[in-house]
Amino acid sequence: MSEYEDTSTEPTEDPGYTEPADDYGNTVVATTTDGQTIYTTDADGDGYAESVEIDADSDGNIDRSFQDTDGDGRLDTAVVDVNDDGLADAAYRDTDGDGRVDEVQLDRNNDGLVDVDARDTDGDGRIDTVSVDRDFDGREDLRAVDADGDGDVDVVVTDTDGDGVLDTERYVDPESNPYASH
């Protein structure tokens, strides 16, 4: 036995063999004719992909990832790396399984924190609340709300003194102000 021989693992017939990264070895890697590398993973072995990841320029950074986050066999979340730095810049989610995006989260300055969070809070398939961290300090500075579901912003709430607490409401349509005298 050589002093450099590794006895901690059993040898394989092929010395170049590498154990797959996932527990079941269910990742299929394909390269398209235009140079994209696509990774499809069925981690639990049920026949449905839990993730499909695309490296558009085959540089090792995933540019788009589609994931089944709730285990129902449908890819319900898309994560996008727009600038190819290996960090997620945007995430799009279908949280209720209706096939429409219910949440959008953006990281505009690549610090790993969500700067824009848009949600469909009433389940009608339309984004109705948008929260924004304008100064990139990790705290919500502005919230825009479509209170009546017509697609227009009705209420804007802001943090005017920078203390991390939303303190000022502005009603875009005076008719939607519940405190106004009519």
pLDDT digits (tens, 9 = 90+) for 70-103: 888 899 999 999 988 888 999 999 998 888 999 9
Q: How far apart are CA 85 and CA 91, in angstroms?
A: 15
Predicted pLDDT at 19? 43
Predicted pLDDT at 26? 86
Predicted pLDDT at 175? 64
pLDDT higher than 80, residue 166: yes
Picking from 104, 87, 89, 93, the residue whose alpha carbon sits closest to that of residue 68 is 93
Picking from 132, 68, 74, the residue whose alpha carbon sits closest to that of residue 105 is 132
Predicted pLDDT at 55? 93
Average pLDDT over the chain, rounded to an integer: 82
pTM (2 d.p.): 0.71
Q: How far apart are CA 96 and CA 152, in angstroms?
A: 23
Query: Any bridge partners for residue 144, and if so which?
Result: 130, 156
The whole-number average pLDDT for the span 22-35 is 78
pLDDT higher than 80, residue 9: no
Which percentage of the chain shows pLDDT scores above 70? 81
pLDDT higher than 50, residue 126: yes
